[in-house]
A = this chain, B = another copy of it.
């Protein structure tokens, strides 16, 4: 039994819902075989999001952490490759903070790679008939902040803890009149289950192209 912590976010940026949290809840309800799933809903705010993540990690003592966030405008489920040590907020977070070019962790390394088998996760979601790809950037807002904080926690305090970040598209109801890509929450939840099972089942990645020319 692999203990997996799945986190999603509260709504932000004027949205009334956040598909990351809706999909995390729906994934947990499916109870994928072989996994003991816990969930946590993180505030969309620099600092307090990481406090909540740390609290959830301490409470659930997971083997694997999948943090999930909304990537409005992306058409597919994206497994992030790398977290960077920078906060640069294009919009205010839910507490009104808007840091510019501040480190997530002062003195921390410039970046951490995900310790998920990123390529295997992408391949497994595609195999399930759903669109997925590797992403080379998780941005510089609260999603990347949480992703970096998670990897720093694992690197400095939780040896053996593996983890990573997954971005998910808007839900259809968020974009009824905006002509932006979307994916229903049940499809996203299925993708998250596939990713959790894949990541729980292997520590090495497959060899598969997932790069970008720029």
Contact = CB atoms under 8 A, between A and B. Distances in A.
B139 A213 contact: yes
Contact of A212 (B119, B133, B137, B177): B137
Interface string A156-170: 000000000001000
A150 interface: no
Contact of A182 (B72, B111, B183): B183
Copies in the complex: 4
Q: Is the interface of A mostly helix, strand, loop or mixed?
A: loop
A126 B175 CA distance: 9
Contacts of A213: 13, 71-72, 90-91, 139, 141, 143
Given A75-B180, A84-B136, A172-B183, A167 B214 contact: yes
A211 B92 CA distance: 11
Interface stretch (A32-40, A50-58, A202-210): A202-210
A201 interface: no
Of the listed residues A70, A133, A143, A213, the one surrounded by the most CB atoms of chain B closer than 10 A to its CB is A213
A212 B145 CA distance: 12
Contact of A90 (B138, B167, B205, B211): B211
Contacts of A130: 172-173, 176
A81 B140 CA distance: 11
A29 interface: no
Nearest to A213: B141
B90 A131 contact: no
14 contacts: A69-B214, A71-B214, A76-B175, A81-B84, A82-B84, A82-B111, A109-B110, A126-B177, A129-B173, A131-B176, A133-B177, A137-B212, A139-B211, A172-B183
